[in-house]
C-alpha cells in the first residue's frame, strides 16, 4: 500500500430514502361499481448499509464520496399492490471498520467478518394504503398515510487494522526492516524517524504452508496517548492485534526503560492493551556477541518472553516466527 493510498478515516453525509406514500383507491371493475378500499402500501425507503469485504485494506474508495444517497420507496398502487422498496446503497468496507455518529461520537457498530452487513442509516417506512383504515362504521375510508421521511446524518468510518501480530516500538527501531524480512511487504525504509506514516501489513509464511498477518504500526513516542508525534491516530490500530511484538534495538540506552515507556503509552491510551500477549525482540543483535547477550539478559524485563534478532543477518528470525506462532495458537 502506498503511503498516499492508505485512508483509515472518512466522514460522509448519508441520506436514506423516503418511504413511498400509501395509495388511496377503491376497487372498480366491470362487475363492481363501488368496491371497497384497495389502496396498497408504499415501499420502504432505501437503507444505507455497510458490508465487510476482506479484499479491501483501506477506506480510500470512500475518501472523495462525501454524500451517499439511497433511493426513495415507490407509492402504493391499486389492487392492494405495495410499492417497490427503494434500492439500498451498500458501501463495502475493510474488516475492522467502525461506524460512529459524527455529532455524538457514539460507536454504532463494527464490521469484523467478510460479508457481514449492518444498517448505517435506515430508510423511511412506507405509508399505509387506505385499506388499513376500513372499519365497520367507515367502509369507504378516504385516508392513506404518507411515507416516512428518510434521515440525513453525518457518519464517521474509522479503520482499525486487523492483524495477528502488531509491531510496537519507537521510531527508527527497525520495524519496517523486520516486516520486509519476514514478509513480502515492501515498506518505506530510511534512517530517520517517522519513515512509516501508515500501517503496513504483510503475510508471514510459516511451516507446513501456514501463515499469519503482521502489521507495522507507525512509531510511538513518549506522550503519544496525548496526541504527540503521530499521536492517537495510529494507536487505535494496535487494539486489533492479537499479539504485540515490542521491538527495541540493542544499541538503545536502556532497553527496560524504553519497554516500560512503550507499555505505559499503550496502557494510558487503552488499559486493555496491557492484557494482550506480548513478546520482546531485541533487534540489531548482529552487533552483539554471546557474552554481551547474556549480560544484557539480566537487565531485560522479567515479565515478557524475549529473543535477540537481526533483520540484516537473519539471526533468530525463524526462532521469532516459532515464538509468535506459539503465542498466536495460544490466543485462539
Instruction: Select from 157, 156, 198, 160 the least CA-distant residue to 176.
Output: 198
pLDDT of residue 225: 39
- Over the stretch 94-116, which tens digit does the pLDDT of each residue have? 988 999 999 999 999 999 999 99
pLDDT grade for 122, boundaries at 50, 70 and 90: very high
Query: In angstroms, rounded to a whole number, what is the distance separating the alpha carbons of residues 18 and 206?
Result: 52
Q: Tell me the domains of the chain and their CATH numbers.
A: 1-159 (2.70.210.12), 163-331 (3.40.50.300)
pLDDT of residue 5: 61
| 211 CB-contact burial (10 Å; exposed 0-12 / middle 13-18 / buried 19+) | middle
Q: CB neighbours (10 Å) of residue 256?
A: 15
Grid cell, residue 208, equals: 507446513
β-pair type (152-159, 200-205)? unpaired
Q: Please check whether residue 306 is in contact with residue 280, taking contact to mean a CB–CB distance below 8 angstroms.
A: yes
Q: CB neighbours (10 Å) of residue 13?
A: 14
Indicate the pTM of the whole model.
0.67
pLDDT of residue 212: 86
Query: Sheet harboring 97-101: ordered strands across?
Result: 67-69, 9-15, 152-159, 97-101, 107-111
Grid cell, residue 228, equals: 504527540
Mean pLDDT calculated for residue range 62-79: 94
Query: In angstroms, rounded to a whole number, what is the distance separating the alpha carbons of residues 103 and 9?
Result: 15
- Over the stretch 6-35, which tens digit does the pLDDT of each residue have? 678 899 999 999 999 999 999 988 888 888
pLDDT at residue 199 is higher than 70: no
Sign of CA dihedral 44, 48, 52, 53: positive
pLDDT of residue 236: 66
Instruction: Select from 188, 156, 146, 145 the least CA-distant residue to 63.
Output: 156
Amino acid at each position: 500500500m502506498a503511503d498516499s493510498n492508505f485512508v483509515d478515516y472518512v466522514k460522509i453525509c448519508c441520506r436514506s430514502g423516503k418511504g413511498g406514500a400509501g395509495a388511496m383507491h377503491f376497487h372498480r371493475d366491470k362487475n363492481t361499481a363501488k368496491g371497497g378500499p384497495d389502496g396498497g402500501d408504499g415501499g420502504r425507503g432505501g437503507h444505507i448499509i455497510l458490508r465487510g469485504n476482506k479484499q479491501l485494506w483501506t477506506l480510500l474508495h470512500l475518501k472523495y464520496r462525501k454524500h451517499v444517497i439511497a433511493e426513495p420507496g415507490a407509492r402504493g398502487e391499486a389492487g392492494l399492490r405495495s410499492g417497490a422498496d427503494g434500492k439500498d446503497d451498500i458501501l463495502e468496507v475493510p474488516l475492522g471498520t467502525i461506524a460512529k455518529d459524527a455529532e455524538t461520537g457514539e460507536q454504532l457498530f463494527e464490521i469484523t467478518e467478510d460479508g457481514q452487513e449492518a444498517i448505517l442509516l435506515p430508510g423511511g417506512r412506507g405509508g399505509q394504503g387506505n385499506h388499513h383504515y376500513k372499519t365497520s362504521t367507515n367502509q369507504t375510508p378516504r385516508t392513506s398515510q404518507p411515507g416516512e421521511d428518510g434521515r440525513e446524518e453525518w457518519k464517521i468510518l474509522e479503520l482499525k487494522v486487523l492483524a495477528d501480530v502488531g509491531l510496537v516500538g519507537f521510531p527508527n527501531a527497525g520495524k519496517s526492516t523486520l516486516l520486509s524480512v519476514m514478509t513480502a511487504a515492501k515498506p518505506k525504509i530510511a534512517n530517520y524517524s517517522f519513515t512509516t506514516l501508515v500501517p503496513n501489513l504483510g503475510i508471514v509464511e510459516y511451516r507446513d504452508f501456514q501463515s499469519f498477518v503482521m502489521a507495522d504500526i507507525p512509531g510511538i513516542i513518549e506522550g503519544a496517548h496525548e496526541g504527540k508525534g503521530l499521536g492517537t491516530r495510529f494507536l487505535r490500530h494496535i487494539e486489533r492485534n492479537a499479539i504485540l511484538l515490542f521491538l527495541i534495538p540493542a544499541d538503545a540506552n536502556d532497553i527496560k526503560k524504553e519497554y516500560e515507556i512503550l507499555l505505559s503509552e499503550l496502557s494510558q491510551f487503552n488499559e486493555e492493551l496491557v492484557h494482550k500477549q506480548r513478546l520482546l525482540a531485541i533487534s540489531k543483535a548482529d552487533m552483539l556477541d554471546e557474552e554481551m547477550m547474556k549480560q544484557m539478559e539480566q537487565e531485560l524485563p522479567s515479565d515478557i518472553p524475549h529473543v535477540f534478532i537481526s533483520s540484516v543477518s537473519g539471526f533468530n528470525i525463524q526462532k521469532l516466527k516459532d515464538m509468535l506462532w506459539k503465542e498466536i495458537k495460544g490466543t485462539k
